[in-house]
């Protein structure tokens, strides 16, 4: 059976762990630690190595889901987790101080990987803060050769996360369907 790997990344509090948990067909492995310093206002814990789950497709193929730590101090894990990855899902917390800056940071940090694969972007927490809008996010790509799928999602809702994964797979045109 074919094995595939998708990476979830984004800043602390964007919903990476929650998104993986909402879509995984197996119990999710987490490597959380008590939140300190910059992450303390984002929740009680933060990912320090990775989150890991699996989607089992109807044909038996598996998509392995890896979530990166959101804190830059754990960025040594990013390259490790990218190995063998087929695409990137970037989650952005719209209620953060500067979500556009967060997006630009992660796009730059994963630029080489994105250039070889594909990306889909999910914007979370839009119910808490509705600006910037999805159109504003799309406008950030107007002067680039990128046109990634961008959706408002609730990381707790399986259908929202599934839509994001499907959009990434469609961007890759790999023929994987659930």
pLDDT, tens digit, for every residue of 7-21? 999 999 999 999 999
39 or 146: whose pLDDT is higher? Answer: 146
Nearest CA-CA partner of 123 in 40, 42, 15: 15
What domains can be seen in the chain, in order of their start residue? 3-172 (3.40.50.300)
Full-model pTM: 0.88
Q: Is the pLDDT of residue 42 over 60?
A: no
Q: Is the pLDDT of residue 155 over 90?
A: yes
Average pLDDT over residues 66-80: 84
Q: Is the pLDDT of residue 36 over 80?
A: no
Helix H or strand E encompassing 51:
strand 45-56
Rounded to whole angstroms, the maximal C-alpha distance in the chain is 44
* Number of other CB atoms surrounding residue 75 within 10 Å: 12
Average pLDDT over residues 33-37: 57
């Amino acid at each position: 059976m074919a094995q595939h790997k998708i990476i979830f990344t984004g800043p602390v509090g964007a919903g990476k762990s929650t998104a993986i948990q909402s879509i995984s067909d197996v119990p999710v492995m987490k490597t959380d630690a008590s939140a300190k310093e910059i992450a303390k206002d984002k929740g009680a814990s933060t990912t320090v190595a990775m989150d890991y789950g699996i989607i089992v497709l109807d044909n038996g193929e598996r998509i392995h889901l890896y979530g990166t730590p959101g804190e830059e101090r754990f960025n040594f894990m990013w390259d490790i987790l990218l190995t063998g990855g087929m695409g990137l899902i970037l989650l952005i917390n719209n209620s953060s101080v500067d979500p556009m800056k967060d997006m630009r940071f992660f796009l730059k940090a994963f630029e080489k990987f994105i250039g070889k694969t594909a990306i889909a972007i999910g914007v979370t927490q839009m119910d808490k803060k509705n600006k910037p809008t999805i159109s504003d996010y799309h406008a950030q790509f107007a002067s680039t050769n990128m046109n990634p799928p961008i959706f408002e999602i609730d990381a707790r809702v399986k259908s929202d996360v599934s839509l994001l994964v499907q959009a990434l797979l469609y961007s890759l045109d790999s023929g994987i369907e659930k």
